[in-house]
Amino acid sequence: MIRRLFGLLSGTVIFLLFLFPTNIVAQDEVAGDSLSGSESAMDTLLLKEKTPQPPFNIVAEDVDNDAGEAIKLSWDLSPDDFQDGNVKEYVVLRSESAEGTYDTLGNTTQGIKSFIDNKVEIGKKYFYKIAALNYEKVNYVYLWNANSESAVAGPVVATAQWFNTGRIWVLLTILFISGAIIYFIWGAKSGKSFYIRKIAGIDEVENAVGRATEMGRSIYYVPGIHDMDDVQTLASMSILGRVSKMAAQNDTRIDVPVSRSLVMVTAREIVKESYSKVGRPDSFQDEQVRYLTDDQFGYAAAIDGLFVREKPATIFLIGAFFAESLIMAETGNSIGAIQIAGTAMPAQLPFFVAACDYTLIGEELFAASAYLSREPKLLGSLKGQDMGKALFLIVIVLGIILQFFDVEMWRLFEVR
């Protein structure tokens, strides 16, 4: 009787195994770990119960707007994919022919419905299957595992695009702003004059330098803690060019302690040039522009030490600053120096406003170079910038109005 029942059960299992595309495999084939467990028919039956149903509706498609380096797979979850259900993972399998051998490409956890294959070659055909996997493991050793594979999806071919259509609005905006800037620079070159509003901080630069000369003390110029790849540092270098020229004219020492090696090289070149231009190349010493440390607070500590020991009459804090801004500015304030600060770091502006005499806020920093030189082509670029601002204002106002009518205009400008 028992033997018959066992035979019936075994027969049913074999029948079911043929009926469903289900594999019960050694773990080595799935994730490379060892599988320990019995292979008897009873165990097989237990495993059968634990075998998840495969995911379905597998879609494989080329990823848009890329260099032909990815194929996106998406699927509908296996019916057994729920909390404490039979699905633990999905294993992505790939082959170069529909009937060929499928290699494991990667895996995702349960509940995830997509995977990006980024190990593809342009122009090659790929076929995919997704296997739902269930297992039990103790201390990284699989006690058992079971999986079932989906139908084949594909063939799909990865292609490269010549233009990222998701960024069309960025391109148009950039073209508009750049066009406006170039147009006004052109206008300036042909003799058109532009009005620029007064920027108190920059107007005071000359007085601040003069004060140091009168007091016979030095000027400190701190160009922030970012490297030359930050436009704020570049803007700061432009201002340094003007400030160091004024200092050289007055024969007042200017010290530029920096926190980045590349900034040191650039700043040294700029200050040296300024000294040469006013006919005092011998007054410049290399150690006026020196590197201190890349470390943010190490730099702040060194600067504080220099301020306290050398008591400069004038301090410029112009560039990109983070939390060290107030530490430096307050120390500068405590020694009674006149301080002109400038940064485009919004979070540091209140600190500078509180502790310094004058502050260049945000874009004033970028305008400073043009303002100081009064060069028409630089002033023209500021005018172009204003056109960009006008464009943004129009779009913002339009967006607000349309939002009242439940039209989500921002979706139009979504960047991908």
Q: Could you say which DSSP state residue 160 is in?
A: B
Residue with tokens 């509908």: 76
The strand ranges marked E within 197-337 are: 219-224, 254-258, 289-291, 314-320
Q: Which is nearer to another protein, 154 or 342 (CB)?
A: 342
Residue 90, number of CB atoms within 10 A of its CB: 29
Q: What is the DSSP string of 251-281?
A: T--EEEEESSHHHHHHHHHHHHHHHHHTT-G
**By CB under 8 A, is residue 280 in contact with another protein?**
no
Nearest 5°: phi and psi at 240? -55, -40
Exactly one of 12, 34, 97, 161 binds another protein (CB under 8 A); which one? 161
Q: Which is nearer to another protein, 50 or 277 (CB)?
A: 277
Which three-class secondary structure state does DSSP give residue 26? coil
Choose the binding region for another protein from 13-21, 38-46, 47-55, 174-182 (rule: CB under 8 A): 174-182
- In sequence order, the 6+-apart residues with CB closer than 8 A to the CB of 33 are 27, 137, 140, 141, 142
**By CB under 8 A, is residue 185 in contact with another protein?**
yes
Measured over the CA atoms of residue 111, residue 116, residue 119 and residue 121, the dihedral's sign is: positive
Choose the binding region for another protein from 20-28, 93-101, 205-213, 370-378 (rule: CB under 8 A): 370-378
What is the closest distance, in whole angstroms, from the C-beta atom of residue 215 to another protein in the complex? Answer: 20
Contact set for another protein, span 239-268 (CB under 8 A)? 241-242, 260-262, 264-266
Tell me the C-alpha distance between 16 and 18, whole Å: 5
Tell me the C-alpha distance between 286 and 60, whole Å: 62
What is the closest distance, in whole angstroms, from the C-beta atom of residue 148 to another protein in the complex? Answer: 19
Q: Which is nearer to another protein, 153 or 378 (CB)?
A: 378
Bridge partner residues of 61 (DSSP):
72
Contact set for another protein, span 1-20 (CB under 8 A)? none
Contact set for another protein, span 91-110 (CB under 8 A)? 105-110
**By CB under 8 A, is residue 388 in contact with another protein?**
yes
Q: Which is nearer to another protein, 66 or 204 (CB)?
A: 66
Measured over the CA atoms of residue 17, residue 21, residue 22 and residue 26, the dihedral's sign is: positive
**The total number of residues written for the chain in this structure:** 416
Exactly one of 171, 394, 397, 400 binds another protein (CB under 8 A); which one? 171
Q: Which is nearer to another protein, 43 or 310 (CB)?
A: 310
Contact set for another protein, span 58-87 (CB under 8 A)? 65-70
Exactly one of 294, 401, 403, 407 binds another protein (CB under 8 A); which one? 294
Exactly one of 39, 99, 287, 406 binds another protein (CB under 8 A); which one? 287
Exactly one of 327, 337, 341, 379 binds another protein (CB under 8 A); which one? 327
**By CB under 8 A, is residue 399 in contact with another protein?**
no
Exactly one of 1, 4, 15, 163 binds another protein (CB under 8 A); which one? 163
Residue 129, number of CB atoms within 10 A of its CB: 23
Contact set for another protein, span 186-215 (CB under 8 A)? none
Q: Which is nearer to another protein, 83 or 101 (CB)?
A: 83
**By CB under 8 A, is residue 129 in contact with another protein?**
no
Tell me the C-alpha distance between 335 and 329, whole Å: 10
| CB-count burial class (<10 Å; 0-12, 13-18, 19+) for 319 | buried
Q: Which is nearer to another protein, 6 or 392 (CB)?
A: 392
